[in-house]
């Protein structure tokens, strides 16, 4: 991992989210044990594995590249990477009003494992619940 990689990922994250992670935060994450990224020109997925569990930290796809299968490919590659690193279960958190992400993760086989009330801060000052989704590994994705 180098500074160019963190800058590139930060640019994708900034295009994808209203409250993006900056290059310094991404660079710091990428130096931590168990953290890995799968990167494509218009998107990336960042995961962390610890013992036999893994977590999707973020999945970002540039708006102009959405609805073309990139998110699904990144999830498949992230799942494979987590399984290869010994994870038996993969978790993530997603806003309960993010219909596109919920559909993506449902197609990949994730199911609801819990809820975090008011987890996400919204630009208007409101709060949004997060759903905790889980996937048992290894799994063959469609």
Q: Looking at the annotation, which residues are catalytic?
A: 93, 105
What's the alpha-carbon Rg for the chain, to the nearest Å?
A: 14
State both tokens at 83: 């399984």
Looking from the CA of 20 toward its CB, the CA atoms found within 13 Å total 19
Each as own residue / partner, the long-range contacts of residues 69-76 (CB below 8 Å, 24 or more positions apart, any chain) are: 70/40, 70/42, 70/43, 71/43, 71/104, 72/104, 72/107, 72/108, 72/141, 73/40, 74/38, 74/40, 74/43, 74/44, 74/45, 75/45, 75/104, 75/105, 75/108, 75/141, 76/108, 76/141
Run of H or E including 49: strand 43-50
């Amino acid at each position: 991992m180098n500074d160019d990689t963190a800058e590139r990922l930060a640019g994708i994250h900034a295009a994808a989210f209203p409250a993006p992670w900056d290059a310094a935060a991404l660079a710091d994450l990428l130096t931590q044990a168990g953290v890995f990224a799968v990167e494509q020109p218009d998107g990336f997925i960042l995961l962390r594995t610890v013992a036999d569990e893994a977590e999707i930290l973020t999945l970002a796809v540039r708006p102009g590249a959405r609805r073309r299968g990139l998110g699904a490919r990144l999830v498949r590659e992230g799942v494979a990477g987590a399984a290869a690193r010994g994870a038996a279960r993969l978790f993530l958190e997603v806003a309960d009003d993010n219909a596109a992400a919920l559909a993506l993760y449902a197609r990949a086989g994730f199911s609801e494992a819990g809820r975090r009330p008011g987890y996400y801060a919204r630009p208007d000052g409101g709060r949004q619940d997060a759903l905790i989704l889980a996937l048992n590994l290894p799994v063959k994705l469609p």
